[in-house]
Amino acid sequence: QVWNPAGKHRVVSTKPMPGTRWIGLLTAAGCRVEVCTENKTILSVEDIRSLIGTQCDGVIGQLTEDWGEELFAALRKAGGHAFSNMAVGYNNVDVDAATRNGISVGNTPGVLTETTAELAAALTLAAARRVVEADDFMRAGKYEGWIPTLFVGNLLKGQTVGVVGAGRIGAAYARMMIEGFKMNLIYYDLYQSTRLENYVTAYGEFLKSRREVPVTWKRATTVEEVLGEADVVSLHPVLDKTTYHLINKERLALMKKEAILVNASRGPVIDEAALVEHLKENPMFRVGLDVFEDEPHMKPGLEKLPNAVVVPHIASASKWTREGMATLAALNVAAKIKGYPVWHDSNN
Say how many residues touch ligand DGY, by CB under 6 A.
Answer: 7
What are the phi and psi torsion angles at 198 (to 5°)?
-60, -40
Sign of the alpha-carbon dihedral angle for 135, 140, 142, 146: positive
Counting contacts by CB under 6 A, is residue 87 touching ligand DGY?
Answer: yes
From 71-79, 87-95, 132-140, 212-220, span contacting ligand DGY (CB under 6 A): 87-95
User: Which of residues 52 and 88 has its CB atom nearest to ligand DGY in the complex?
Assistant: 88
Counting contacts by CB under 6 A, is residue 165 touching ligand DGY?
Answer: no
Counting contacts by CB under 6 A, is residue 316 touching ligand DGY?
Answer: yes
Query: Which of 313, 288, 278, 299 has its CA nearest to residue 116?
Result: 313
- Minimal distance, residue 232 CB to ligand DGY, in Å: 21
Sign of the alpha-carbon dihedral angle for 325, 246, 256, 286: positive
From 21-29, 85-93, 133-141, 154-162, span contacting ligand DGY (CB under 6 A): 85-93
Sheet strand arrangement including 104-106:
2-3, 31-35, 9-13, 58-61, 82-85, 104-106
List, in sequence order, the alpha helices (H) in 129-254.
Answer: 131-139, 168-181, 195-209, 223-229, 249-254
Query: Which of 121, 116, 125, 119 has its CA nearest to residue 286?
Result: 125
- Minimal distance, residue 280 CB to ligand DGY, in Å: 28
- Minimal distance, residue 322 CB to ligand DGY, in Å: 9
**Residues from 91 through 150 that contact ligand DGY (CB under 6 A):** 112
Instruction: Pick one of 23, 56, 82, 88: the residue that binds ligand DGY (CB under 6 A).
Output: 88
Residue 313: active-site member: yes
Binding site for ligand DGY (CB under 6 A): 63, 87-89, 112, 315-316
Q: Supply the residues annotated as catalytic.
A: 266, 295, 313
